[in-house]
Chains A and B, each alone.
Chain A
Amino acid sequence: DVKVTQSSRYLVKRTGEKVFLECVQDMDHENMFWYRQDPGLGLRLIYFSYDVKMKEKGDIPEGYSVSREKKERFSLILESASTNQTSMYLCASSDTSGYTFGSGTRLTVV
């Protein structure tokens, strides 16, 4: 069964911490994405990658960076976590057959 795995379901971090959110897919997909979901705002694209070591900014990249050293892994980095980054973070990968999402990481920044 096709899978996108996000390493943590729930995470609590302190303001100013550097936070790593990990995502691994086992489908050999070229494309990977990071979204955040907030009530009333839907899913907003943070960053995406079409290939290893390649990254593109989405709609809301400020305060985030990403790393794609291997095809199967796409990491989202919060350089200095802030309370307004408290959110549900969703990773996805895609190919011609469509998108597959991970289960999400609920991040709370205190």
Chain B
Amino acid sequence: TQLLEQSPQFLSIQEGENLTVYCNSSSVFSSLQWYRQEPGEGPVLLVTVVTGGEVKKLKRLTFQFGDARKDSSLHITAAQPGDTGLYLCAGARGYSTLTFGKGTMLLVSP
């Protein structure tokens, strides 16, 4: 059973547009991580959020952690073709074991 629901599953946009990806959990995790994965590669960590209500920025990417620590969002401003990839959220419990959502496949066209 997937404890993390991501939406949308697929997103196709034009370069320069803004977008938001959502991650909702039925459980509370000690932290929530966002990864980006390209075809044939392993996931690469973008950010870890720990505190309820936390907001982190990574250049054009803004990550929010819900107050109840059960949901998160990723907002990308002025998307670029290089942002194309599979975005995964993952909840962390003890000893660094991760529970992943199914991911959001983002395609940014020039």
A and B together in one complex:
no
Q: Which residues of B contact A (CB under 8 A)?
A: none
